[in-house]
Amino acid sequence: MSRQDGLARSESQPLVQSDQRPTVAPYCDVYENNDELLVVTDLPGVTSDALDINFDKGELTISARRNVLPENAIFLGAEFRNCDYRRRFAVPAGIDAGSIKAELKLGVLWLHMPKSDALKPRQIAVQAG
């Protein structure tokens, strides 16, 4: 639960120069229904022009830049700061890439990924003979 990847900095190290932006994995929820996959991501402070969503070869990449804090502010307390968000998912075949829809509201990204028709469940009508 407390793994550290190569990008992460240990908490015991002090905050260094503000031009060194940390890269952060945002929190994601993944939901599914018959028609689509829905990926919900917390991206506080991100505007739509600083958000990049890429779907390529079965891989979904969400990357964003956050610039909400002034550069030379005097911090009396600092728990978060400007950062880059990055998260990648392997997505199974059968997503209709052309109709992926993304919506950013209140700092939360809602990414709708519709399934192609072949994957949707279908009702088979029984004919009376």
Contact residues for another protein, defined by CB under 8 A: 1-5, 7-15, 22-33, 37-38, 40, 42-47, 68-70, 73-81, 83, 89-92, 94, 104, 106-108, 119, 121
Nearer to another protein (CB atom), residue 90 or residue 125: 90
Q: How far is the CB of 14 from another protein (least distance, A)?
A: 7
> Cβ(50)–Cβ(66) under 8 Å?
yes
In this complex, which beta carbon is closest to another protein, that of residue 121 or of residue 129?
Answer: 121
The residue whose two tokens read 């709708």 is 112
Identify whether the C-beta of residue 54 lies closer than 8 Å to the C-beta of residue 61: yes
Tokens representing 46? 């991100």
Q: Which of residues 34 and 127 has its CB atom nearest to another protein in the complex?
A: 34
Alpha-carbon distance of 26 to 99, in angstroms, equals: 24
Q: Residue 112 contacts by C-beta under 8 Å, 6 or more apart in sequence?
A: 36, 37, 38, 100, 101, 102, 103
| Closest CB 64 distance from another protein, rounded Å | 11
Least Cβ distance, residue 129 to another protein (angstroms):
29
Q: Taking the complex as a whole, how short is the minimal distance between the CB of residue 127 and another protein, in angstroms?
A: 25
Are 86 and 62 contacting, i.e. CB atoms less than 8 angstroms apart?
A: yes
Which of 68/97 has CB closer to another protein?
Answer: 68
